[in-house]
Amino acid sequence: MTKALFTRGNWGSRIGFILAAAGCAVGLGNIWRFPTVTGQNGGAAFVIIYLGCVLLLGVPVMLAELSIGRRTASDPVGAFKTIAPNSLWKAVGGLGVLTGFMILSSYCVVAGWTLKYVLVTINGQFIGASPETITHIFTTFVSDGTSVTLYHLFYVVLTVWIVTGGIEKGIEKASMILMPTLLLILLLLVLRSLTLPGASQGISFYLSPDFSKVNLSVVMSALGQAFFSLSLGMGAMLTYGSYLSKKENLVSSALYISLADTSIAFLAGFAIFPALFSVEGLSPAVGSGLIFLVLPNIFNQIPFGQLFGTAFFFLLAIAALTSTIGLLEVVVAYFIDQKKWSRKKSALLVGLGAFLFGLPSAYSNGASTFFAGFMDAIFLYFGEISLAVGALFICLFVGWKWNISAALKEIRYGCSYSLVPSIWAFLIRYICPTAIAIILIDQFLLELIGYRLTAIMALYLGL
């Protein structure tokens, strides 16, 4: 056991682990996707539903992943093999590793965009630019396959370099620097945004709920967003948990990581909505163009916009990096534990694979018609559907296969609260799988027949 822990690596400190896991969770999902979906789904009411999803579904699934990881001290495939030998359950781990690889390959491409935007803003290219010019800058860049590929390569290399350093000296050390920097920049941006004229309109959009906008599809979006943002369903938290000692309190760890992830997403809303409302004619419901197409119009008009614009894209770049590290680590852990490769060889080869597999994504936004839509498809099938499928099987595994009392025993090491584990057992057995199954059915119906569950129910109930 000691030898296994020694060769696999271990977190050096509790705070280091929390920051690394929070770093894996905090990513483009928090700073780009959360404000985007909040804007599209009516603001405050969505935020409240999102918080409910994090607490009732996200935290329990995270706790499940951490407990499987720590109990088995193994990568996702090895973890399922250890608890349920000679069964098909290892396929759930396999799906997680595959999902990690797929998301990583496309995620590095978008991460590369954020870096390009740091440079564009520093160079002052947005100063005085009209909305048309801003759109033109974006479309010219994303359709230039070679340049997108170079930025993508840069991210892959950076991620491989950090992951090669190992758990404590690579991932933990990087997170200890990157996460506080991220928080500092975000707070600075929130301060700037809140002090803009007209900010109060944005604050009220963000904080006063209008429940008339809520329907089942809003709840579905909140759930999907919660899983993606908390990095659940593909064994990332399982892998991070596998480097934890029995002394650690898993319950409080899951709560801290979720709290950090949710607070950063919430703060990102404060950086974006007040600024958005301070500029005439911009709507919060613009969709995914919010970050690259709309925000430069704001940085263009506010005092010190160039500085804050640069800081914003730098923030996105850091957030993306701490997530690509987590994504790569899941796949690397698989090759180290299952194939007995060295960390260096695993990181290099998986990195090379992710770079190559990312090329169709790099060319999918205008550079090549053949690959058009490739990146969106990867994010839909792996970033949404596969994470939900993985999370569903993780709940069923922990709640029904592993034996809930064994799972509870693992959770109780290092945890002195007696009530929390029992509430968790109820959520993970009944509530989480049911809720996740509903989102999946909804997604499949949408894909197969083009209607959401909500639309069919409304029709059926004659609403």
Candidate segments 27-35, 308-316, 343-351, 363-371, binder of ligand PHE by CB under 6 A: 27-35
3-state secondary structure 209-273: CCHHHCCHHHHHHHHHHHHHHCCCCCCHHHHHHCCCCCCCCHHHHHHHHHHHHHHHHHHHHHHHH
- 195 contact partners, CB below 8 Å, separation of at least 6: none
Crossing angle of helices 305-339 and 76-83, rounded to 10°: 40
Report if residue 25 touches ligand PHE, rule: CB under 6 A: yes
Report if residue 284 touches ligand PHE, rule: CB under 6 A: no
Q: What is the x/- site pattern for ligand PHE, positions 62-91, by CB under 6 A?
A: ------------------------------
Report if residue 30 touches ligand PHE, rule: CB under 6 A: yes
Q: Which is nearer to ligand PHE, 311 or 330 (CB)?
A: 330
Q: Which is nearer to ligand PHE, 153 or 265 (CB)?
A: 265
Q: Which is nearer to ligand PHE, 110 or 420 (CB)?
A: 110
Q: How far is the CB of 398 from ligand PHE (least distance, A)?
A: 19
| Subset of 349-388 contacting ligand PHE (CB under 6 A) | none
> CA-to-CA distance for 47 and 40, rounded, in angstroms?
12
Question: What secondary structure letter does DSSP report for 29?
Answer: I
User: Which of 325, 334, 329, 337 has its CA nearest to residue 93?
Assistant: 334
Q: What is the x/- site pattern for ligand PHE, positions 214-253, by CB under 6 A?
A: --------------xx-x--x-x-----------------
Q: Which is nearer to ligand PHE, 264 or 336 (CB)?
A: 264
SS3 114: helix
Report if residue 24 touches ligand PHE, rule: CB under 6 A: yes
Report if residue 323 touches ligand PHE, rule: CB under 6 A: yes
At CA 267, angle to CA 265 and CA 273, rounded to 5?
100
Q: What is the x/- site pattern for ligand PHE, positions 100-129, by CB under 6 A?
A: ---x--------------------------
- 324 contact partners, CB below 8 Å, separation of at least 6: 104, 107, 108, 111, 155, 156, 158, 159
CB 79 within 8 A of CB 240: no
User: Which of 103, 82, 77 has its CA nearest to residue 92?
Assistant: 77
Q: Which is nearer to ligand PHE, 391 or 404 (CB)?
A: 391
Binding site for ligand PHE (CB under 6 A): 24-25, 27-30, 103, 228-229, 231, 234, 236, 323, 326-327
